């Protein structure tokens, strides 16, 4: 079945083109806003070839398709939707649905995601380069003096040198300000010349940057309203930078520094003192938290830990939840007699092993119930391994086997992955599940 065929089937079972207000996608899901959710034919959608599962996220209805597939099918859906008759633009209805399904917590998480999600490809690229260099140096330490290794090290560190600028730019944009002013304020806070006047460059890291970007955006919006138009182009950015920059140096940097240090101390302290028990709890709870979207709130914490320590010790622990999912799904594959379910597991397992777990969550373990619990148990055991050895990762945005190359203890990380596979498999096999009819 082609992507266009899948798109046509999806539109038909989502209530027709006139029922779809918007269609977008993330890495693995087609996300649609609908005028009337009662028109969704959920059972028919689940049976469409290429669909791994569905999820009702309140404001959106999501169809899990997997990486690459989600983008291609979404493009095909929007191509079809662009040809429908235009009777009004549906803006009022879209806004009504959006308001109905919007909460302060969801808005906050969306803003956080809007700041940090665009940075993830940079972290992935630089983290993997750093990881490969680390592996190469362990095999051949003499390569440390190689010009190529030194050049690649610059590539691997690039995202960290520019991180505050990127965060400032994105944060100002998300908070409604001029992006470049957010970048300028971040540059002021991290300028090395601050040390010449007795100040500490970069104190507070990304926490301080987000705070000053939010302040700058708020101040800029107020100035636009009170400064005459003929002076707005000159005075608004000038006053924004002067006032926000001063507040950043003398107020927000110390505040952000305290928050950042507290987060770092709590995270590392809890894992160092609690060890396996803390890792067990964190990894065991992670899959339900991901389903509720809470995982977005941890992205800035990962970034802050990496900026402070060079690695985040939370990510390897939480990544074990996906490994537990793989083990649970393998148990389902061998235990089920349902051919369609076997096919679903087989198609979703490769991306699950590579760290993209949504197809397995929504297409296999969560709909079956008990295997989802088995996956959580599997992740918990793997998380205990990672926490016991304080394994850290120098990137974010990836999980599964690819994350191994970026960790500071590759053998232990891989042992944890295998433990999660085995525990998830065993727990699911013991718990069992009701095998669905063909």
pLDDT given for residue 161 in this prediction: 84
pLDDT for 96 beyond 60: no
Number of H helices, E strands in the chain: 19, 4
Distance (Å, whole) CA 335 – CA 78:
39
Give the pLDDT confidence score for residue 98 in this predicted structure.
54
Q: What is the pLDDT of residue 91?
A: 54
DSSP class of 37 = G
Give the span between the Cα atoms of 434 and 417, in whole angstroms: 27
Tell me which H or E stretch contains 84.
none
Active site residue 126: no
Per-residue confidence (pLDDT) for residue 69, from 0 to 100: 83
Instruction: Kindly tell me if the per-residue pLDDT of 180 is higher than 80.
Output: yes
Per-residue model confidence (pLDDT) at position 101:
54
| DSSP state string for 371-430 | HHHHHHHHHHHHHHHHHHTT--BS--S--TGGGGGGBS-HHHHHHHHHHHHHHHHHHHHH
Determine contact, residues 277/253, Cβ cutoff 8 Å. no
Distance CA 15, CA 38 (A): 8
236-287 pLDDT per residue, tens: 999 999 999 999 998 988 888 788 778 778 878 888 888 899 999 999 999 8
- Which of 17, 21, 26, 415 is labelled catalytic? 26
Higher pLDDT, 104 or 391: 391
At residue 428, the pLDDT reads 95
pLDDT in tens, 187-225: 999 898 988 888 888 877 888 899 999 999 999 999 998
Tokens 């990894």 correspond to 283
What is the tens place of the pLDDT at every residue in 353-407?
988 887 888 878 988 889 999 999 999 999 999 999 999 998 887 888 989 988 9
pLDDT attached to residue 223: 93
Q: Name the packing angle between helices 147-174 and 104-116 (round to 10°).
A: 150
Which of 213, 207, 199, 220 minimizes the C-alpha distance to 264?
207
Compare 420 and 364 and report the one with higher pLDDT.
Answer: 420
Say what percent of the chain tops pLDDT 90. Answer: 37
Q: What pLDDT does residue 417 have?
A: 96
Residue 102 is predicted with a pLDDT of 58
> What is the pTM for the complete model shown?
0.70
| Closest C-alpha among 312, 360, 357 to residue 332 | 360
From residue 126, give the alpha-carbon distance in Å to each of 182, 230, 382, 410.
Answer: 23, 45, 26, 17
Kindly state the average pLDDT of the residues 301-329. 89
pLDDT band for 295, please (50, 70, 90 cuts). Answer: low
């Amino acid at each position: 079945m082609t992507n266009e065929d899948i798109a046509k089937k999806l539109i038909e079972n989502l209530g027709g083109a006139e029922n779809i207000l918007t269609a977008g996608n993330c890495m693995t899901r087609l996300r649609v806003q609908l005028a009337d959710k009662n028109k969704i034919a959920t059972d028919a959608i689940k049976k469409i070839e290429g669909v791994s599962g569905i999820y009702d996220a309140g404001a959106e209805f999501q169809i899990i398709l997997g990486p690459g597939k989600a983008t291609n099918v979404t493009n095909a859906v929007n191509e079809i939707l662009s040809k429908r008759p235009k009777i009004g633009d549906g803006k009022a209805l879209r806004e009504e649905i959006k308001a109905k399904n919007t909460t302060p917590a969801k808005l906050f998480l969306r803003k956080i995601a809007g700041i940090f999600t665009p940075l993830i490809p940079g972290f992935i690229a630089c983290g993997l380069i750093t990881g490969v260099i680390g592996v190469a140096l362990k095999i051949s330490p003499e390569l440390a003096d190689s010009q190529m290794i030194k050049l690649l090290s610059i590539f691997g560190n690039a995202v960290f040198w520019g991180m505050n600028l990127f965060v400032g730019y994105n944060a100002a944009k998300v908070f409604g300000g001029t992006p470049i002013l957010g970048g300028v304020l971040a540059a002021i806070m991290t300028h090395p010349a601050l040390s010449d006047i007795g100040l500490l460059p970069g104190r507070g890291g990304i926490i301080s940057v987000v705070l000053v970007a939010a302040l700058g955006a708020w101040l800029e919006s107020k100035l636009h309203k009170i400064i005459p138009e003929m002076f707005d182009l000159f005075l608004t950015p000038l006053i924004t930078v002067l006032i926000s920059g001063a507040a950043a140096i003398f107020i927000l940097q110390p505040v952000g520094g305290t928050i950042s240090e507290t987060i770092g101390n709590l995270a590392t302290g809890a894992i160092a003192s609690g060890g396996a028990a803390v890792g067990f709890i964190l990894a065991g709870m992670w899959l339900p938290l991901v389903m509720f979207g809470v995982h977005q709130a941890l992205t800035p914490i990962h970034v802050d830990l990496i900026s402070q320590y060079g690695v985040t010790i939370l990510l390897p622990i939480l990544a074990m939840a996906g490994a537990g999912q793989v083990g649970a799904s393998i148990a389902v594959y061998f235990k089920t007699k349902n051919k369609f379910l076997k096919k679903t597991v087989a198609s979703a397992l490769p991306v699950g092993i590579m760290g993209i777990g949504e197809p397995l969550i929504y297409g296999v373990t969560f709909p079956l119930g008990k295997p989802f619990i088995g996956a959580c148990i599997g992740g918990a055991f793997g998380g205990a391994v990672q926490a016991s050895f304080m394994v850290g990762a120098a990137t974010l945005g990836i999980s599964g086997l690819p994350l191994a190359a970026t960790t500071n203890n590759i053998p232990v990380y891989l042992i944890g992955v295998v433990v999660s596979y085995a525990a998830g498999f065993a727990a699911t096999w013991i718990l069992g599940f009701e095998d669905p009819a063909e």
